[in-house]
Amino acid sequence: MSVTQNVITLKDEADLRKVLEKNTTVAALYFYADWAHQCKNIGEVIDELGQKYPQTPFFKIEAENFPDISEAFEISAVPTVIFVKGNKALDRVDGVNAARIAQLASKYSGASAGSAAAGDSAIRASQATLSAEVKQDLNIRLKELINRAPVMVFIKGTPSQPRCGFSKQVINILNDHSVQYGYFDILTDEEVRQGLKEYSEWPTYPQLYIKGELIGGLDIIKEMIEGGEFDNSIPDSEKLNNKA
Ligand SMILES: N[C@@H](CCC(=O)N[C@@H](CS)C(=O)NCC(=O)O)C(=O)O
């Protein structure tokens, strides 16, 4: 794919400053890292958008090489794309979301809604490849999280400050039954929150896992307690009573 002149890999901060000083142009700042493979596809999307919207300057900024700029734009992860006018951030896309980046590029280029809707095959293809890769990465991460402790609970909030009544009840049950457990607060990570629902085919939280296997949510746990199966399902190593 040929790269147009308006797609600039930043080498010198001054080049960016010149554009930021102009208060009339909307520019897209794409923060990336060479080691983050999910950035590769977004990089291609940026090249494509650069061709499509030649009047918009697109800056590719290697975040770690430009710590001051990255800090000024509060970059905490890559890829991140920020649309700026002057020094003002108008919109940002944190993470891998080619469709949203394309939508905003269209919006700020002044293109009609129709052309945004038409989209580009390359952007769609890139989004598809990206989705597959990202999904694979997410699944690896979810598997690791599920196996982080022999008894692992995914809740809203923390055990000391649950932020949902269902999560609170599960924590109370685990404590009452003297179970040692690990937890993950799904409110801190939307990707995990949505991804785990699909991965485990379980639509709600809390979710309890024992040795990497989904047990279920609060209702299931309550049923297991009524049926006398709950305590038996907890590995001996995780029963605090056994650890005197
Ligand atoms: N009956 C469910 C109750 C759990 C539930 O309904 N959770 C909701 C509200 S906290 C939930 O996680 N919704 C999906 C979400 O918030 O992402 C259970 O047995 O666990």
Return the sign of the alpha-carbon dihedral for residues 168, 174, 178, 179: negative
- CA 83 to chain CA centroid, nearest Å: 19
pLDDT in tens, 154-191: 999 999 999 999 999 999 999 999 999 999 999 988 88
Position 87 pLDDT exceeds 50: yes
Is 236 exposed, middle or buried (CB count within 10 Å of its CB: 0-12, 13-18, 19+)? exposed
How much is the pLDDT for 97?
A: 86
Sheet with 88-94, strands from edge to edge, namely 7-9, 58-62, 26-32, 80-85, 88-94
Pairing mode, strands 207-210 and 151-155: antiparallel
Q: Identify which of 166, 223, 230 to mutate to test ligand 1's pocket (most ligand atoms within 8 A of the CB).
A: 166
Q: What is the pTM of this model?
A: 0.55
Q: How far is the CA of 217 from the centre of ligand 1 (A)?
A: 8
Overall average pLDDT of the 203-218 stretch: 97
Give residue-wise pLDDT tens across range 46-84.
999 999 899 899 999 999 999 999 999 998 889 999 999
Pairing of strands 151-155, 182-185: parallel
Ligand 1 nearest atom to the CA of residue 205, by list position: 12
Q: How close is the Cα of 162 to the center of ligand 1, in Å? A: 13
C-alpha to C-alpha distances, 67 to 16, 18, 56, 64, nearest whole angstrom: 14, 18, 24, 6
Q: Cis omega (within 30 of 0) on the bond before 235?
A: no
Q: Are 200 and 153 in contact (CB under 8 A)?
A: no
Which residue's CA is the closest to the ligand 1 atom numbered 6? 204
For the beta sheet containing 207-210, the strands, ordered from the edge strand earlier in sequence to the opposite edge, are: 182-185, 151-155, 207-210, 213-216
Ligand 1 midpoint to CA 92 (Å): 30
Residues in contact with ligand 1 by the CB-under-6-Å rule are: 156, 164, 166, 193, 204-206, 217-219
